[in-house]
Structure 1
Amino acid sequence: MPFSSLQDRPKREMEHWVIAGGCALTFLSATANAGFLIELGTSVSHLTGDVSKVAVEFAQGTHRVVELAMNLLVATLSFLLGATMAGYAIHHPSLEISRPYGRAVMVIGVCMLIAHAVLSAFPLAAIGVASFACGFQNALATHYRGMILRTTHITGLLTDLGTNLGMTMRGHDIARWKILIPLFLVLSFFLGSALGAVLVIRLHAPFLLVVASLYVAGGLSWSIYKHWFSPKMR
């Protein structure tokens, strides 16, 4: 007998799926970002630090300012394009399990595979493709039951976590998942960053190939699950 649709299951189980999927995506984007930081000195999953870095280099008049500015420009435009494509393909900001997230995650994996293929010969192109993938991922589902979801950076997550903790201390009745989701996503980003560093520094492994494989495997697994075990979700 096939499993019932996730949409008909208790909200608590739905929260478990959101936490698991969000943590997996956050973990992988952090792994890719750490690898790019080590290899090229550029972030692909978030851009705030790179903006400050370029501004500092410009003020100091260093010779790297042009290179860093070009990296930032490519990453910014690519991230924006990825988010735009996610908005077009998914066309809804709220998380809905019935949407084609499995195929979307496989697309992210293919992008990371392309970035791996061009990283050595065309690093700027690799930055662009990986930033596109991260922008696409970050915009897949931006809201869940009123909470803003982000899976490529943690500043907003820390804000939500701190706000909800403070309100809890104040005596407000804050749902447990509003604390657990940002907490687990932040921890996932840290662990993913650690993995990226280990892959590059200690193992000298192709970090993007590892990340791409996990994205594709995860997206394919979710698509198969939806198709064979939860037909109502299609």
Structure 2
Amino acid sequence: MFQSLRRMTPEPRTGWVVFGGCCLAFLAAAVNAGFLIDLGTSVSHLTGDVSKVAMQSLGGEGWEKSGALYLAVATVGFIFGAMVSGFFVHHPTLEISRPYGRTIAAIGGLLLVSHGTFTGIPWLSVFLASCACGMQNALATHYRGMILRTTHVTGLLTDLGTNLGMRLKGHYIAPWKLGVPVMLLGAFFLGALFGTLLHLWLPGRFLLVLGVIYIAGGIAWTIRKRWDRGASGGPV
């Protein structure tokens, strides 16, 4: 088993990238599950939501009653979050030197504020959570020729199917390029289960727990990066 895992990851750094990506996919799925249960609105993937906005806008109901308001706010929030990541992280290719730790901690902060507004101003809570997911999804969109997505699975399924088809055709596809999408898919599925259970165990507080986890993870990443730089003699 360990040998097959090593074949999936060609170098230690890639192993850490995959592990971090799985953690982020797990958490994003948990956030999304809570919003789907309570408000029926996705905050981590918006393909279907854009279609729903168009359909419900013509349904004759008020925007807030039909849910179209939440869907529109989620779409704008996701775009805004991705824009923030593009401004501060600067580049779609993953580079360890970029401020990922601080960005992940900021995502946690947004989720805490989203928790605080969930009951009184639900549309604002949706906006903030979608903004957090947009920030996460835009952290690093490319690594070693692969497209990384940690808030939805459509791209992962596309990558997996494409690589399987090429391999069946006789082209060489590195085993880790098949393993990474599978691991991210599994993490997303488990995260959705966790988010559902968290919603049942701690009703109304799932965002609080997940926000704290994000902040702790962001701080841990920053500390590790500074430790590695100090150990290698580079600038901290």
Q: Same fold (TM over 0.5)?
A: yes
The CA deviation at 1:228 is: 2.1
Secondary structure of the residue aligned to 2:92 is coil
Q: CA deviation at 1:59?
A: 5.5
Gaps of 5+ in 2: 1-8
| Contact residue 160 and residue 181 of structure 2 kept, 8 A | yes
Q: CA deviation at 1:60?
A: 5.1
CA distance in 2: counterparts of 1:155 and 1:205, whole angstroms: 29
2:67 alignment partner, SS class: helix
Q: Measure the CA separation in 2 of the matches of 1:141 and 1:167.
A: 25
Name which of structure 1's ranges 51-60 and 16-25 shifts more when overlaid on structure 2: 51-60
The Cα shift of 1:54 comes to 3.6
Letter in 2 for 1:124: W
| 8 Å contact kept, 1:108–1:136 | yes
State the distance in 1 between where 2:203 and 2:81 align: 29
Query: 1:40-189 counterparts in 2 under 5 A?
Result: 40-58=39-57, 61-62=60-61, 67-189=66-188
In the TM superposition, what is the alpha-carbon distance from 1:50 to its structure 2 partner? Answer: 1.9
Contact kept in structure 2, 1:98 and 1:233, CA below 8 Å: no
Output the CA distance in 2 between the equivalents of 1:229 and 1:145: 22
Q: Aligned-pair RMSD on alpha carbons?
A: 1.9
Identity %: 53
Greater relative contact order structure (CA < 8 Å, 6+ sep): 1
The TM-score, its normalising length taken from structure 1, stands at 0.89
1:34 is paired with a residue of what secondary structure?
Answer: helix
2:29 aligned with 1:30:
yes
Q: Distance in 2 between matches of 1:143 and 1:233?
A: 25
Which is further off, 161-170 or 61-70? Answer: 61-70
Query: Is the CA contact 2:112–2:211 (under 8 Å) kept in the aligned structure 1?
Result: yes
How far the C-alpha of 1:57 sits from its partner, in A, is 3.8
TM-score scaled by length of structure 2? 0.88
Question: Could you give the per-residue CA deviations for residues 205-226 of structure 1, whole angstroms, max 9, x where no partner exists?
Answer: 6110111111011111111111
Give CA deviations for 1:135-156 in whole Å, capped at 9, x if unaligned.
1111010100111111110001
- Count matched residues: 225
Distance 1:14 1:176 in 2: 16
Q: Distance in 1 between matches of 2:235 and 2:106?
A: 20
Aligned residues of 1:84 and 1:136 also touching (Cα < 8 A): yes
- Matched with 1:230 is 229
Residue by residue over 1:44-92, the C-alpha shift from the partner in whole angstroms, topping out at 9 and shown as x without a partner, is 1011122333444456545667542211221111111111110110101
